[in-house]
Amino acid sequence: MAAKKEPVLLSGGNPQVAKGDGDAPVQVYIAAMPGWKSEVGQRLDALIERTLPGVRKAVKWNSPLYGVDGKSWFLGMHCFNKYIKLAFFNGAGLEPLPPIDAKDPNTRYFHVHEGEALDEAQLADWIRQAVALPGWVP
């Protein structure tokens, strides 16, 4: 029996996974998230799916992306050593604003740290608002 191969982590603790469309590559990414982040990633992914049944998923640039219209993205997830970053690509239009600004004035971030309670109601509200706004087109 072969030993389980550990995922390759890039600098900052982000898993390196092959890009791809659909749920499967997102689940590979979540499974490769180190430590506590994998369980939180599962919770976040399930929350997004409950909030938006049929949400479009992909992994690009070593980050899961979520979209609805077949061409743009409203949310991305990325691992760092000490937190998970959720990027609302048009987050400047959300109320209340996600707390962390970005270089792009339209993008807002929300960080999840180990041991913090997730305010799932607030996250779901931001997700519902985000899909009503124009998404990010790479």
C-beta separation of 109 from 123 below 8 A: no
Tell me the pLDDT band of 7, cut-offs 50, 70 and 90: confident
pLDDT attached to residue 9: 83
Q: Which residue has the tokens 């004035």?
A: 105
Domains delineated in the chain: 20-131 (3.90.1150.200)
Helices (H) and strands (E) in the chain, counts: 3, 7
- Whether the full predicted model's pTM is greater than 0.75, yes or no, is yes
pLDDT attached to residue 8: 85
**17-39 b/e (C-beta count within 10 Å ≥ 16 → b):** beeeeeeebbbbbbebbeeebbe
Q: Which residue has the tokens 């740290």?
A: 113
Q: How far is CA 87 from the centre of its chain?
A: 7
CA distance 48 to 131: 11
pLDDT attached to residue 138: 86
CA distance 113 to 82: 6
The mean pLDDT of 45-61, rounded to a whole number, is 97
CA distance 4 to 104: 39
Say yes or no to pLDDT of 24 above 80. Answer: yes
How many percent of the chain have pLDDT more than 90? Answer: 86
pLDDT tens digits for 76-112? 999 999 999 999 999 999 999 999 999 999 999 999 9
